[in-house]
Amino acid sequence: MNKKFVKILVVFFIGSIFLLTGQNSEAKKKKPTSPRIVGALKCNGSCHDPWYLAWSETPHAKTYNLLKPGERPEAKKKAGLDPKKDYTGDPNCLPCHVTGYKKPGGFKGPDSKHPTEEDDEDEPNLSAVGCEMCHGVTGGALWRVLMKDSKGKFKRTEMEALGYRADHENVCKRCHEHPNTPFQPSLDPKYKFNYEERKKKVHPFEKFYNEDNKDQVITRDKNGVSVHAPGYTDTHPLPIEQWEVKDGKFNKIVWPFWSKKKKKIVWKGLKKAGKAAKKKDEK
């Protein structure tokens, strides 16, 4: 074979590899165009390491375990639940024990074609009540782009347009005061939800600073308020999800969706739910 031809062939082959590698690299860097759940692990590392480490040691990072047989048998028995039953696939429980159940990118139960595997106990992610459960409407995929592109110089209102929410007390009560939870204050006073006390235990991040993450701080003004604030949701609570389970099937009553046309989150079911609530009050 002609040596010159061989050289040309080799150069062509190597060039093709670089071209394909470059294309794959670009594909990997492709920015999301709609909100998705990304999981708590994405918050760990270069941006919110102390918060993740603190959260990973709290009960919120272990909520999925409570659904397993034998966990907290006395409490379950008192609430009328079977302590020996496996509730890890129960759609009545999953919305408040995992991240993003029935949402794009979120935890998928055993009824899904591709169920989510349980997290490594040292790296809680989706099978836990993670960051996006409390800070977002439909996931943080778009926030991450804004955070990185702006190098941290963004306004909370910009984040809210992409699905961030700061009405934290409202969100906490979504589960802690859900009308269908079997763990009601009437069962035991300890189940009465006190937001101001509970939030102190969510992620006490200060003690998790070290040499590697000491630069990960939230810049605040002289009054201790984040420079990103205020946002709309600080003082205007958003709707919260409402759902029901009939014959083992999960039904969305009030639910957030991303409108590709409007490029914003829209809530479906609000009018219908409002009318139903009004009729219930009139009875």
Go through the domains of the chain in sequence order and give each one's CATH number: 35-242 (1.10.1130.10)
Predicted confidence (pLDDT) per residue in 34-90, tens digit = 999 999 999 997 789 999 999 999 999 999 999 999 999 999 999 999 999 999 999
Enter the DSSP assignment of 34: S
Structure tokens at 31: 């920015």
Residues 136 and 167 sit within 8 Å (Cβ to Cβ):
no
Predicted confidence (pLDDT) per residue in 142-155, tens digit = 999 999 999 889 99
- Please say if the pLDDT value at position 11 is more than 50: no
Residues β-bridged to residue 245: 250
Predicted confidence (pLDDT) per residue in 113-122, tens digit = 999 999 999 9
Residue-level pLDDT at 27: 45
272 vs 18: which has the higher pLDDT: 272
Helix (H) or strand (E) holding 142: helix 141-149
Strand ordering across the sheet containing 264-268: 242-246, 249-259, 264-268
Q: How far is CA 228 from CA 40, 138, 158, 199, in A?
A: 21, 20, 9, 20
Average pLDDT over residues 186-195: 96
Residue-level pLDDT at 219: 80
Residue 210 CA to its chain's centroid (Å): 26
Average pLDDT over residues 99-126: 95
Helix (H) or strand (E) holding 249: strand 249-259
Q: Which residue has the tokens 């106990």?
A: 121
- Please say if the pLDDT value at position 250 is more than 90: yes
Q: What is the mean pLDDT of the chain?
A: 88
Spatial distance between the Cα atoms of 212 and 30, rounded to a whole number of angstroms: 28
Residues 167 and 237 sit within 8 Å (Cβ to Cβ):
yes
Q: Which residue has the tokens 């700061």?
A: 166
